[in-house]
Copies of this chain bind each other. A is one copy, B any other.
Amino acid sequence: MLRRFTRSVIIFIILFHSYVYASSASLNDPLPSWHDHAIKKAIIDFVQTVTDTTNKDYVPPEDRIATIDNDGTLWVEQPIYTQMIFIMDRIKALAHTHPEWQHLEPYQSILHHQAEHLNAANLEHLFAVTSQGLSTKEYISLIKKWLATAENPHFKKHYTELIYQPMLEVIHYLHEHHFMVYIVSGGGQDFIRAFSPTIYHIPLERIIGSSSQTQYLYQHHAAHLIKIPKPLLICNNEGKPEAIHLFIGKKPIIAFGNSDGDRQMLEWTQSGKGKHLMLLVHHDDGKREYAYDIHSKIGTFSKSLFREAKKQHWHIISMKNDWKVIFPFER
């Protein structure tokens, strides 16, 4: 228990340090973890242009919308989405009350550590099983507890330490320039909300993600929203511009993604009237993180997306060549 506490304190100090570092660094260089290549210059030029009241491309603060994908754009998504690991850990934690799961798919695969057999339909089902009947408050509290202790087996780090330092600097830089920075993720909205305010400094009302329906319950002067296993929003592909309209009602002027699921969000951003900037993180650093694109099941960056990016002049960020460090703990 004491070790765990010490560990938490150390993580807090590291994160706080990285935040303060980003703050002070920004006086000189707003993006110190980025190499001084074309993309860093493009981001800084863009922000300077749209915030310069004398520039013809000036954008008032109320229209400075930034949308950023989460998995693979703000934190690690390999070998499998963090939320999936949470869900599988929930299945394991609940298994003693469900002896039948030992011989029933997809539970059997999870309990015997053969998660590679899972498919998208399994995931939706598992999400429902592990969340239904819980209140939104209970669910978020479970996620917080899990994030405080679970470790990524490859990096031997907490999942909330596996966030990209260069992207933290981008968020901070955009906030400093009065952008409204939203996360727009195919992942679960409540899942991201469990850590986003402390880790990314992005408040709950700016988290857009996939979500299930809830049912309002009012008993004995207490009000709850109970999660029910019916999808409400699937915030991926076409679902991203649809959710952006629903939550924001304005087009982003800058958008970051990393995979085919972000394509429509970038098109939506590009279709806006004024100046805009579209960027894709390319995972090409097998040494410091992972190298994957067209053949990956998670975070597919298809040939067709490469072609569209090139044609539309979307920037492709090379993690290997554009980022000096990947994670805050490297510094």
Produce 1/0 per residue, A246-257, CB < 8 A to B. Answer: 111110000000
- The residues in A between 183 and 203 inclusive whose CB is less than 8 angstroms from any CB of B are 189, 193, 203
Verify B267–A241 contact, CB threshold 8 A: no
Verify A205–B250 contact, CB threshold 8 A: yes
- The residues in A between 214 and 240 inclusive whose CB is less than 8 angstroms from any CB of B are 214-216, 218, 221-223, 225, 232, 238
Chain B residues positioned under 8 Å from A214 (CB to CB): 242, 245-246
CB nearest to A249 among chain B residues: B204
Verify A271–B204 contact, CB threshold 8 A: no
Q: How many angstroms between the C-alpha atoms of A223 and B251 in the bound complex?
A: 11
Number of contact residues on A: which range applies? 20 to 34
Verify A247–B245 contact, CB threshold 8 A: no
Chain B residues positioned under 8 Å from A211 (CB to CB): 246
User: A19 on the interface (CB 8 Å rule)?
Assistant: no
User: A268 on the interface (CB 8 Å rule)?
Assistant: yes
Verify B203–A215 contact, CB threshold 8 A: no
A selection of 15 A-B contacts at a CB cut-off of 8 Å is: A62-B203, A189-B246, A204-B250, A205-B248, A205-B249, A205-B250, A214-B245, A215-B238, A215-B242, A216-B242, A221-B271, A223-B241, A223-B270, A225-B241, A225-B245
